[in-house]
Amino acid sequence: MPELPEAETIVRGLRPLIVGRRITRAEVLRPDVLREGVRSFAPRVRNRTILAVERRAKNVLILLDGSRRIAVNLGMTGRLLPFPAPPRGARRPGHPAVRFRFSDGGVLVFDDTRRFGTVECLGDTEWTVREARFGPEPLGDGWTARALHVALSGSRSPVRSWLLDQRRVAGVGNIYAAEALFLAGIHPQRPASSLTKTEATALHGAVRSVLSDAIDEGGTTIRDYRNAIGGEGGYASLLWVYGRDGEPCRRCGTAVERIVFANRSAFFCPRCQPAAR
């Protein structure tokens, strides 16, 4: 599932390609991806100009004139694909769900194989309510090591589960939680409240480092993720533990292990990330 680096990569790729364009109509081919009715969605975006493209948590936000924004959650296999003209033949997306047509003849296609992604149009008030559900941005100046330690100290949840809770910190998913915990030397099942101030500081730095490096590499392609021009992310080859169970740890040579809890796989090095006594 695309996480913060993948969403940020897509946003950066879309900006120069769609900002300033006017949407003449929206064609909803798969209504189940909408979080509102087709009769509500299509008129709200029609004849609106795209002013900016931003990201919040794992969501891509296409800001429109008239104080509206299209919020796209990519789900597991969603893609936002811009084309200067309607694609034909082999270039045509295989699972288009929503197609935005521009006044200059170009199109933006939300393509989603498994259709776990969502698309909706929100006004300022609606977005304010929605955004309040997300925690702080981990790459923002307001997210400090001290704030992280204070927040962790109030929870007995496993620290990996804590990091995945979008109400605690926005945009971190299973891949980057695993990587950050490895770099900080923390076992994924440690209770959040058991982390010392020093460990919380290490985790804070690891989260920011992993996310920044992944953005620099254009995200992580394990299977489905592609950027705005259809390319793969390059961070997969740099992963320390995620998806590497049975392989030697790149740091100490011990076999990476995989465990499952809270219905999600966790990857760790038992030597570099010892379990709490």
Residues recognised as catalytic: 2-3, 58, 264
- Degrees (nearest 5) of the Cα angle 79, 214, 163? 90
Instruction: Let me know if 160 is exposed, middle or buried by CB neighbors in 10 A (0-12, 13-18, 19+).
Output: buried
Cα distance between residue 108 and residue 91, in whole Å: 13
- Nearest Cα neighbor of 236 from 204, 264, 213 is 213
Cα distance between residue 219 and residue 227, in whole Å: 8
Judge whether 26 and 42 are in contact, CB under 8 Å.
yes
Judge whether 169 and 203 are in contact, CB under 8 Å.
no
- Degrees (nearest 5) of the Cα angle 192, 248, 244? 60
**What separation in angstroms does the CA of 106 have from each of 22, 83, 87, 141?**
10, 6, 9, 37
